[in-house]
């Protein structure tokens, strides 16, 4: 069964971006619905004047099954695997939201990775595909304008991979956090 995603009214807020990235990085298939099919709290939170960028991540979207809001809508629909996967997805959203920030490189030019033991000592056919290439690719997008979600999406990386690279590059003083 696919999961469901209902974007905010504009569809392009930080909440929308993080939700889509969380689904992608979790490799969870989902159906994205139009905001016009809203029917829960987002009706109130996205109302003009309130303008909160609320999105909904759901296993099954309300009004897509006949048991919704009836006496038949009970725990028989919930299974431990679905509940666990939903919990992990929501925890990932929180982790991304709390970690997402912008970085810039600490060097004006591409840094020399060899002296930091971040570049292979021998050149081979696979050197270009090495982890050092991933570091360089990551740093080139650290311009202070793109956040970690943007970079992760550009490089097709899972968020845990992004965090691991950030941790390494910060420890090596190759990127600095933008406040």
pLDDT value, residue 107: 87
pLDDT over threshold 60, residue 125: no
Residue range 128-137, pLDDT digits in tens = 445 778 889 9
pLDDT over threshold 70, residue 127: no
Ordered by where they begin, the domains of the chain are 3-98 (3.40.630.10), 101-178 (1.10.10)
pTM of the full structure:
0.83
pLDDT value, residue 122: 57
Q: HEC profile for the chain?
A: CCEEEECCCCCCCHHHHHHHHHHHHHCCCEEECCHHHCCCCHHHHCCCCCCCCCCEEECCCCCCCCCCCCCCCCHHHCCHHHHHHHHHHHHHHHHHHHHCCEEEECCCCCCCCHHHCCCCCCCCCCHHHCHHHHHHHHHHCCEEEEEHHHHHHHCCCCHHHHHHHHHHHHHCCCEEEEC
User: Mean pLDDT, the chain, as a whole number?
Assistant: 86
Residue range 1-55, pLDDT digits in tens = 689 999 999 999 999 999 999 999 999 999 999 999 888 788 889 889 998 989 9
Minimum mean pLDDT among 5-19, 72-86, 115-129, 156-170: which range?
Answer: 115-129
Q: Bigger pLDDT: 70 or 82?
A: 82
Say what the alpha-carbon torsion angle 13, 15, 20, 23 is, to the nearest 10 degrees.
180
pLDDT over threshold 90, residue 159: yes
């Amino acid at each position: 069964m696919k999961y469901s995603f209902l974007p905010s009214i504009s569809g392009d807020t930080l909440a929308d971006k993080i939700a889509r990235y969380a689904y992608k990085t979790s490799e969870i298939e989902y159906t994205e619905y139009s905001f016009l099919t809203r029917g829960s709290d987002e009706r109130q939170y996205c109302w003009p004047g309130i303008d909160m960028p609320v999105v909904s991540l759901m296993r099954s979207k309300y009004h897509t099954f006949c048991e919704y809001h009836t006496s038949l809508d009970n725990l028989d629909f919930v299974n431990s695997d679905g509940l666990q996967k939903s919990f992990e997805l929501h925890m990932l959203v929180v982790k991304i939201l709390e970690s997402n920030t912008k970085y810039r490189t600490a060097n004006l030019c591409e840094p020399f990775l060899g002296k930091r033991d971040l570049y292979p000592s021998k050149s081979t056919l696979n050197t270009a595909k090495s982890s050092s290439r991933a570091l360089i690719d990551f740093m080139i997008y650290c311009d202070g304008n793109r956040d970690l979600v943007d970079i992760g999406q550009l490089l097709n990386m899972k968020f845990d991979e992004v965090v691991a690279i950030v941790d390494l590059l910060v420890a090596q003083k190759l990127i600095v956090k933008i406040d």
